[in-house]
Structure 1
Amino acid sequence: MLKLADKVGAAGYYVVVPDLLDGEPFNPQNSDRPFPAWIKDHGPVEKGAEATKPIIEALKSKGVSAIAAVGFCWGAKVVVELAKSRLIQTAVLLHPSFVSLDDIKGVDIPIAILGAEVDQVSPPELVKQFEQVLAAKSGVASFVKIFPKVSHGWAVRYNTEDAETVKVAEEAHQDLLDWLAKHHK
């Protein structure tokens, strides 16, 4: 993910990557800490969105007038919460988790959603429903794309030795950058 943050920074954006997981990313190989226990301590709304608000306020106090947020998996829910609160002006979600149709109904800022064809967390059918909700909102710019033959996490967790997975991840990265270039002023 830091390599992608570097790409965004190289495109001319000031990038902040807060550790909203307090140094404890979920590790599926850790049987001592199953997902339900981990998520209880790392809820995206309770921990992520709330922890991000002071960062946004600090940026604004330094004169930053437009803030975009990009969320992967768990972070997508954080970004949606910030969007619904109008604390950001542009949003990008990649392989979202915990995002509901009601969440998307509450978004009225430019938003891009990049999903995976093979995703149990946000299956293509749900992502298509997001697209329908957004398409019905006149005046709200949106872009929704489902990447074929990839699974949840493909944009940041991929085999750098596999040319095809690198190509698809780079396509998603370019879509993210294109969205920011078009909607983040």
Structure 2
Amino acid sequence: MLGPHCTENPPSLSSTSGAGNIEEIGGLQTYVTGDQHSKLAILLAADAFGYEAPKLRSLADKIAALGFLVVVPDFFNGDPFSFEKPREAWLAAHTPDKGCEDAKNVVASLRSRGVAKVGAAGFCWGGMVVVRLAKFDCIDAAVLLHPGPITQEQINEVKCPIAMLGAEIDNYAPPEMLKQLGEILEAKAEVDSFVKIFPGVGHGWSVRYDDNDEFAVKSAQESHVDLINWLTKYIKFE
């Protein structure tokens, strides 16, 4: 289920925000930004509030400015979470397993266009999608930012380099959980990994921060730098 921290600070959604366009990729409406001919692509999996969140699209544009093709699919098919919807019913209709299958279709579509390497980053609900995606050979690197619950089994199945960025104040993805999962990853010599806990911030801080809070903005920007550094380390031509 969605924890209480997962639905704090909901964004004001705007279908017209961002420098990119909406296209259908892999059967999903998708926010697309960056070089359409790039052979390097990044997939961003949104949190429960969906792909129209302006701060998420702004981050997509920031990543795209580095030369990537960036795609942010609407995994919820026009049905992002809102407080008017029962949490259990909404999550039953939008499971991370279903999100993973949809993400695989998006990645396959990108590959069919000639994309050579694909990285994926997921936020909260999207983090649960990306950790599932990371057990397949379709992506080349993964980043989880304040993810939902992740199991040891899922971490054991990860095949690509993976980074986990967590919040100090997060009952949904507590630091202790991420550190334990990090220890499992450290034992996997074949998989490069990185775990970082950001002090003084809560769940969702990387894309749902208060613009008027200098510390929150700085922490979010730091997470963006870590995200970009991890992706550029692996999503590149040899």
Q: Which residue of 2 aligns with 1:60?
A: 111
Specify every segment of 5 or more residues in structure 1 that has no aligned partner in the other structure, as ranges.
none
Q: 2:155 — aligned with what?
A: 104
Residue type of the partner of 2:208? R
Unpaired segments of 5 or more residues in structure 2? 1-55
* 1:82 CA drift (Å): 1.2
Structure richer in strand, relative to its length:
2
Please report the TM-score for the alignment, with normalisation by the length of structure 2: 0.74
How many residue pairs were aligned?
181
Q: Which residue of 2 aligns with 1:88?
A: 139
Structure with the higher helix share, 1 or 2: 1
1:34 aligned to which of 86, 92, 117: 86
Task: Please give the TM-score of this superposition, normalised by the length of structure 1.
Answer: 0.94
RMSD: 1.0
**Residues in 2 aligned to 1:42 and 1:117: alpha-carbon distance in whole angstroms:** 27
Equivalent residue, structure 1, for 2:62: 7
User: Residue deviations 1:117-170, cap 9 Å, x none?
Assistant: 111111111000111011111131111000011111000001011111000000
Match of 2:176 in 1: 125
In 1, distance between residues paired with 2:190 and 2:135?
16
Runs of 4+ in structure 1 deviating by more than 2 angstroms, as ranges, are: none
Equivalents in 2 of 1:25, 1:14: separation in Å? 24
- Give 1:10 deviation, angstroms: 0.9
Q: Which has the higher contact order (CA 8 A, sep 6+)?
A: 2
Letter in 2 for 1:34: P
Q: CA deviation at 1:98?
A: 3.1
**Any idea what SS the aligned residue of 2:194 has?**
strand
